[in-house]
Amino acid sequence: MKFALPLTFAALLFAGCKPSAETPAGSSAGGKKITVCMLPKKKGVPYFTSCSQGAEEAAKQLGNVELIYDGPTDGAPEKAAAMIEKWALQGVDVIAVSPNDPDVLAPAMKKAREKGVHVVTWDADGAAGTREYFVNQATAQDIGYALVDTMAKDIGGEAEGEVAIITATLTAANQNEWMKFMKERLAKYPKLSLVGVQPCNEDQKVAFQVAQDLIKAHPNLRGMWAISSVAFPGAAEAVKQSGTAGKVFVTGLSTPNDMRSYVKDGTVKSVLLWNTKDLGYLTVYASNALANGGLKAGAASLSAGRLGEKKIAGDQVLLGDILVFTKDNIDQFDF
Amino acid sequence: MKTRLAKFPFWHEAVLALLLVALLITANTMEPRFMRLGTQIELSRHLWEIALLALPMMLIIITAGIDLSVGSNMAMCAVTLGLLYEAHVPMPLAIGAALLVGIIGGAINGAFIAFLRVHPLIVTLATLSAFRGVAEGVSLARPISGFPASFGLLAQGTFACLPIPAWMFIAAAIVCSVILAKTPFGRFLYAIGYNENACRFTGINVPRIKLLLYTLAGFMSALSAIIFVARRNTAKADVGTGIELDVIAAVVLGGVSIFGGRGNIVGMLLGVVLIHETREFVSWHWNNDELILVVLGVLLIASVLLNSLFSRRSRSD
């Protein structure tokens, strides 16, 4: 029995040393068959599942793309990094990453690029130098402006009164970027005065509490932006329970499924988000174009199937349409 | 014939070895690329932290103890390393400090278990959350990145065909197996696992041995944390989350009895390698994270059932 381990290792070595006639995947040229691996931040959550549906659709339409969609079910960055390493070893053509922790994933992404694999990011960007393109759902400016415009429209009339923001954490990069542009856009509505920015630490219960406090502390409060998918339902619940629906408007970014009940009972007028299916769809089109030479440095646009021509700004492919879900259209979306 | 078969003491190891060989042959037929030496070496980089921690875990479980806090201790060490590096402390000093923090963490566990005689499950369950809390509190859950490339080599580099952490593991494994098989200390561990009270009456210094074991686990946690940070170039308070369960699963799969007194290093190594190869192969071939968890669960239950079947048979004659 004491030979079991050496034997095992010997077996390992022999198996490993066997010369393999296999060629690296996708070495033929032109419209070639490619493998695209798509990594969500976390597998099994509605947001990313709907992204994967769009990606499947694109892969089917293109015909030459074999799509692999996998990610850590617990959202562990270490597992995500291990998956990138595995795909790089398999010699796939494109790895499309939505990094759940850009720093942890950076060495694996860089290594994959060194091995000649195309790496793009989607949904969230990676660390510097880790990817070729970022498929961006919307620029921070679009999101910031849309949030403010939607609020002004919801309040209606002269868009008058006090407003507040509930953000994720005070250090959240995405949210801070959006808030910069929200403040810029607020200049267009001089009668709206921003009375506070409060973090909810990505906790729905805290968001609920913060929203309640804001409503009590500011009797003239007309609007609250809850700009994370966790903050939004919490804030909406606070408005509902305080009975101020119709006086205090709350809007923000979240999925239609999370907000459906609040939209239907009139607590929330509008919910903002991008079309997540289209985001997955565009990611696969961009990946295919990159691997097949259809996406070269300096290109100004990308033709993306049913989405038509999509703009490219620098090294970002822009999806660019922000959806507003209201009572009238929210039932058309299921994610 | 039947009794002789039943008396064969290494059934569990034999079954594991057979399973492993079967798995590798299957893998070689289905995915030749997976079985290439280069691929295996690269994939092995996911293994070394777990393997290093499995060594002290095995010794602890042999004494009928357990250490649930190794992952959280890793987080404390990683955060120490990160914060000191950020404060421009030279890298060797920062590494030394991280090792010291790990040792202290382990010694705290050991002191409670050895001298206050609190059950290890309770002590390390408490430090599982306490250590994580300290790591989060001290670092404010902020990631620290941008370590020098020379430090990264510690985990990403290769020496004589194998990753550097593999050599650390080989050295530690040899030391462990010699201690376990050839020294009185090793015999005492089994004895404590069988009957701790009897050991105390025969004059074995049980508290000292326990203190040493949990401190060793702390040291290995620190080493794993350093390798992890070097490999991922990031120190963060969530390093090592849940790793204790992977380690314990590998050790138990390797035939180390959770009730103490039984287990050897060959079985443990087979357990670690079998879990690693299963995880990597399922991931490689099916690209399905959910499936891995199911397969590993089935593997663990099956092996424990087999084990109890065989041990019952050998006890009955």
The predicted-structure confidence for B91-150, as pLDDT tens digits, reads as follows 999 999 999 999 999 999 999 999 999 999 999 999 999 999 999 999 987 889 889 989
Is residue A3 predicted with pLDDT exceeding 50?
Answer: no
Contact (Cβ atoms closer than 8 angstroms) between residue B59 and residue B176: yes
- The pLDDT of residue A256 is above 60: yes
Of B25, B232, B233, the CB nearest to A78: B232
- What DSSP state is assigned to residue A248? B
Residue B5 has pLDDT above 70, yes or no: no
A161 has pLDDT over 50: yes
Flag whether pLDDT at A19 surpasses 80. Answer: no
Chain B residue numbers with beta carbons less than 8 Å from the beta carbon of A85 are: 42-43, 45-46
Instruction: Determine the 3-state secondary structure of A269 from DSSP.
Output: coil
Contact yes or no for A239/A248 (Cβ under 8 A)? yes
Residue A47 has pLDDT above 90, yes or no: no
Q: How far is A91 from chain B (nearest CA, A)?
A: 10
What is the rounded average pLDDT of the residues A218-247?
92
C-alpha A315/C-alpha A44 separation (Å) is 29
The pLDDT of residue B17 is above 70: yes
User: Does B261 reach chain A within 8 Å, measured CB to CB?
Assistant: no
Q: A230 falls in which pLDDT band (50, 70, 90)? A: confident
Two structure tokens written together for B266: 């060959």
Mean pLDDT of A223-242: 93
Determine the Cα–Cα distance for residues A136 and A142; give it in Å rounded to an integer: 11
The confidence band for B309, taking pLDDT boundaries of 50, 70 and 90, is confident
Mutation site for B-interface testing, chosen from A2, A3, A8, A105 by largest number of B Cβ within 10 Å: A8
H or E element that contains A141: helix A140-155
Residue A27 clears pLDDT 50, i.e. is over it: no
Report CB contact under 8 Å: A68, B236.
no
Task: Kindly state the average pLDDT of the residues A235-250.
Answer: 93
Assigned token pair, A30:
């032109």
Q: In this model, does residue B271 exceed pLDDT 80?
A: yes
Chain A: residues touching B (Cβ < 8 Å)? 1-2, 4-5, 7-8, 11-13, 15-18, 20, 22, 37, 43-44, 68-74, 76-79, 81-83, 85-86, 89-91, 101, 103-104, 106-107, 127, 171
Cβ contact, residue pair B270, A4, below 8 Å: yes
Instruction: State the amino acid at position A265 in one-letter form.
Output: D
Amino acid at A301: S
* Reported confidence tier of residue A236, pLDDT bands at 50, 70, 90: very high
Which residue, among B241, B210, B175, B171, has the nearest Cα to B61 in the 3D structure? B210
Q: Name the residue facing B46 among A1, A22, A82 (closest C-beta).
A: A82
* pLDDT value at residue B314: 52
**3-state class of A149 per DSSP?**
helix
Average pLDDT over chain B reads 92
Instruction: Assess whether pLDDT exceeds 90 at residue B281.
Output: yes
Tell me which chain B residues have a C-beta less than 8 angstroms from the C-beta of A16: 35-40
**What's the pLDDT at A16?**
41
**Minimum mean pLDDT range among A82-91, B147-156, B209-218:** B147-156
- The tokens for A175 are 């949210």
Per-residue pLDDT reduced to its tens digit, A296-326: 877 888 989 899 999 898 899 999 878 999 9
Please determine, for residue B179, whether its predicted confidence score (pLDDT) is greater than 80.
Answer: yes
A49-107 confidence digits (pLDDT tens): 989 999 999 999 999 999 999 999 988 889 999 999 999 999 999 999 999 888 889 99
What pLDDT is attached to residue A293?
Answer: 86
Distance CA B117, CA B214 (A): 13
ipTM: 0.88
Rounded Cα–Cα distance for residues A77 and A114 (Å) = 21
- B76 φ/ψ angles, rounded to the nearest 5 degrees: -60, -45
| Strand A161-167 relative to strand A221-226, pairing | parallel
Beta bridge partners of residue A69, listed in sequence order: A38
> Quick one: how far is CA A316 from the chain centroid?
14
Closest CA in chain A for residue B19: A8
Q: How many beta carbons lie within 10 A of that of residue A157, not counting itself?
A: 7
pTM of the model: 0.83
User: What are the angstrom distances between the C-alpha of B180 and each of A50, B219, B220?
Assistant: 53, 18, 17
pLDDT of residue B315: 46
Decide if B10 touches A, using CB distance below 8 A: yes
CA-based nearest distance A53→chain B, Å: 16
H or E, element range at A181:
helix A173-186
Higher per-residue pLDDT: B228 or A2? B228
For chain A, what is the mean pLDDT? 87
Q: What's the pLDDT band for B311 if we cut at 50, 70, 90?
A: low
